[in-house]
């Protein structure tokens, strides 16, 4: 990243490594980089580090912001220049901007193909003792009931989803989900016995 060397502050030589985006410099502690010196304002200037370069902006400081001795309100910084805040000189050692984009390795699908039995039935690639009962509508992968992800939606409806791609799966056969009848659901919900009037 871009690097600045503060030569005239209080104490030893200060090294500033700018972060991407806005960097605030000044005497106050709540700046990104504090430079303690009587000629530097509490919020003296801000340095904007972009992929296109570095821009410095004066924040209405008392003693001004200068590049190579020239006063500036806003200017682009180059390597080798001297930025001056009040009586403090800051050498622009590097203006390099490094933007790293992380690489994500996609693992290849290593699911083995299903074993086909003599009667035409297939064994699940992940559970070899179970028969294939479902197939994904998108990636066409076959699986048993144990592989399927069950997601309950509002209202009680259950979605069957593929563990590989997350799309819907369909039942091929061999496993049926029995839908309870309206009377059976009614009987489970209402537990009160019906009372008859005695004559």
pLDDT tens-digit profile of 10-23?
566 788 899 888 99
Q: Quick: pLDDT tens for 69-118.
A: 899 999 999 988 999 999 999 998 887 776 666 666 666 656 677 888 88
Q: What does the mean pLDDT of the chain come to? A: 82
CA end-to-end span of the chain: 95
> Which residue is listed with tokens 């800051």?
90
Q: How confident is the model at residue 44 (pLDDT cuts 50, 70, 90)?
A: very high
Give the residue-averaged pLDDT of 151-157. 77
49 is written with which tokens? 């580090």
Give the β-pairing of 82-85 and 88-94: antiparallel
If one compares 119 and 65, the residue with the highest pLDDT of the two is 65
Distance separating alpha carbons of residues 86 and 31, to the nearest angstrom: 17
176 is written with which tokens? 């049926």
If one compares 9 and 80, the residue with the highest pLDDT of the two is 80
Q: Which of 62, 63, 31 is nearest to 47 (CA)?
A: 31
Distance separating alpha carbons of residues 168 and 162, to the nearest angstrom: 6
What is the model's pTM? Answer: 0.49
pLDDT score recorded for residue 175: 44
pLDDT score recorded for residue 188: 61
């Amino acid at each position: 990243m871009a690097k600045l060397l503060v030569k005239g502050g209080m104490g030893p030589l200060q090294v500033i490594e700018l972060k991407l985006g806005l960097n605030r410099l000044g005497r106050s502690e709540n700046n990104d980089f504090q430079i303690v010196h009587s000629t530097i304002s509490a919020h003296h200037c801000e340095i904007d580090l972009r992929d296109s370069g570095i821009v410095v902006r004066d924040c209405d400081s008392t003693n001004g912001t200068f590049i190579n001795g020239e006063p500036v309100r806003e200017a682009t910084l180059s390597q080798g220049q001297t930025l001056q805040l009040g009586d403090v000189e800051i050498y622009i050692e590097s203006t390099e901007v490094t933007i790293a984009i992380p690489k994500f390795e996609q693992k290849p699908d290593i699911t083995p193909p299903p074993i086909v039995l003599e009667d035409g039935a297939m064994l699940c690639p992940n559970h070899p003792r179970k028969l294939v009962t479902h197939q994904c509508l998108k990636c066409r992968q076959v699986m048993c009931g144990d592989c399927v992800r069950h997601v309950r939606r509002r209202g009680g409806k259950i979605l069957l989803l593929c563990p590989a791609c997350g799309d819907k799966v369909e039942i091929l056969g061999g496993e049926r989900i029995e839908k309870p009848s309206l009377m059976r659901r009614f009987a489970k919900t209402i537990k009160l016995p019906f009372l008859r009037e005695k004559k």
